[in-house]
Amino acid sequence: MHQPPFWNLVPTWCDGVQVFNVSIVAVPTTAPQAYNTDGIEPMFSRNVHISHCFIQNGDDSVTVKSGSHNVLVENCVFQDGHGCNIGSIQGEGVSNVTYRNIQRNNTLLGGGRIKARHWVDEWVVVENVRTGPAPLARYMGAC
């Protein structure tokens, strides 16, 4: 995908998703139009495998969103964006997420975060999150 204007790949209410060898090149973080050029964001999905992807964008590289379980993200390169994330708008919990062997180049926020904006009047649970070796080529600091 080249220069997409908004969220790129958002599998929603899926089971058994496989995303392999996908390249997303969007507007980099420094551009004003970079907001919401998110890469891959499984939402309310389970048994997701994302591997060997290159994502250069100005927002979240991969975000495992609300209601997603059993997600493996591995052997990817994230350039310029916000890296490995969990959460965003949370209505249901997230569990069993693994990020491993992720190369983060020039990413913001240390290359990952857990974030939550609740749209329900109760707490959600984020549990069993693992990260493996994740080289950080350059960290841009907080935004």
Distance CA 50, CA 34 (A): 23
Provide the whole-model pTM.
0.85
82 catalytic? Reply is: yes
pLDDT in tens, 104-140: 888 876 667 777 665 556 677 788 888 876 554 544 4
Selected catalytic residue, list 38, 59, 60, 80 = 59
Selected catalytic residue, list 38, 69, 80, 82 = 82
The DSSP element (H or E) to which 109 belongs, if any, is none
- Residue 77: strand, helix, or coil: strand
Q: What is the mean pLDDT of the chain?
A: 82
Q: Kindly report the CA angle at 109 between 104 and 115, in degrees rounded to 5? A: 110
